[in-house]
Amino acid sequence: MPRTRNLLTDSLYHNLLDNLYEGVYIVDNDRKIIYWNEAAEKMTGYSRSDVIGRHCWDNIFMHIDNDGNALCHNQCPLETAMREEKNREAELFFHHREGHQVPVIVRIAPIFDNNGAVVGAAEIFSDNYSNQDLTRKLRELERMALLDPLTKLGNRRYGEMNLTNKLRELKRYGWSFGVLFIDIDRFKDVNDMYGHDVGDKVLRLIAATINNGLRSSDVVSRWGGEEFVAFVANVDEEKLSHVAEKLRMLVERSTVVLSGNDTHITISIGVTLARKKDSAHGIIKRADSLMYAAKKAGRNRVMA
Amino acid at 109: A
pLDDT digit string (tens) for 279-298? 999 999 999 999 999 999 99
Asked if 217 and 205 touch (Cβ cutoff 8 Å), the reply is no
pLDDT for residue 130: 52
Active site residue 226: yes
- CA angle 59/62/63 to nearest 5° reads 145
- Nearest to residue 100, comparing CAs of 222, 203, 228? 203
**Rounded CA separation 238/198 (Å):** 35
Q: What is the mean pLDDT of residues 7-36?
A: 75
Q: What is the mean pLDDT of residues 57-62?
A: 80
Q: What residues pair up with 228 in beta bridges, in sequence order?
A: 182, 222
- pLDDT for residue 17 is more than 80: no
- pLDDT for residue 49 is more than 50: yes
DSSP H/E element including 205: helix 196-213
* Domains along the chain with CATH numbers: 3-127 (3.30.450.20), 131-303 (3.30.70.270)
pTM over 0.75: no
Q: Are strands 227-233 and 101-112 parallel, antiparallel or unpaired?
A: unpaired
Burial 125-161 (b: 16+ CB within 10 A, else e): bbbebeeeeeeebeeebeeeebbbeebbbbbeebbbe
- CA 206 vs CA 23, 176, 220, 241: distances in Å: 24, 26, 12, 19
**Rounded CA separation 55/67 (Å):** 24
Which of the four pLDDT bands, split at 50, 70 and 90, describes residue 2? very low
Q: What residues contact residue 247 under an 8 Å CB cut-off, 6+ apart?
A: 180, 182, 209, 210, 213, 214, 230, 267, 269
**Rounded CA separation 304/301 (Å):** 10
- Nearest to residue 222, comparing CAs of 235, 233, 210, 214? 210
pLDDT for residue 138: 61
In order, the DSSP letters of 95-144 are E-TTS-EEEEEEEEEEEE-TTS-EEEEEEEEEESS-HHHHHHHHHHHHHT
Q: What is the mean pLDDT of the chain?
A: 88
pLDDT digit string (tens) for 119-149? 989 999 987 765 556 666 666 666 667 889 8
Q: What residues pair up with 121 in beta bridges, in sequence order?
A: 27, 110
**Rounded CA separation 162/144 (Å):** 14
pLDDT digit string (tens) for 168-183? 999 988 999 999 999 9
Q: What is the mean pLDDT of residues 189-211?
A: 94
pLDDT digit string (tens) for 231-268? 999 999 999 999 999 999 999 999 888 877 888 899 99
Q: Which residue has the higher pLDDT, 229 or 132?
A: 229
**Rounded CA separation 141/220 (Å):** 13
Q: Are strands 267-273 and 227-233 parallel, antiparallel or unpaired?
A: unpaired
Q: Which of 123, 142, 226, 252 is catalytic?
A: 226
* Percent of the chain scoring above 70 in pLDDT: 88
Range of weakest confidence among 45-54, 101-110, 135-144, 165-174: 135-144
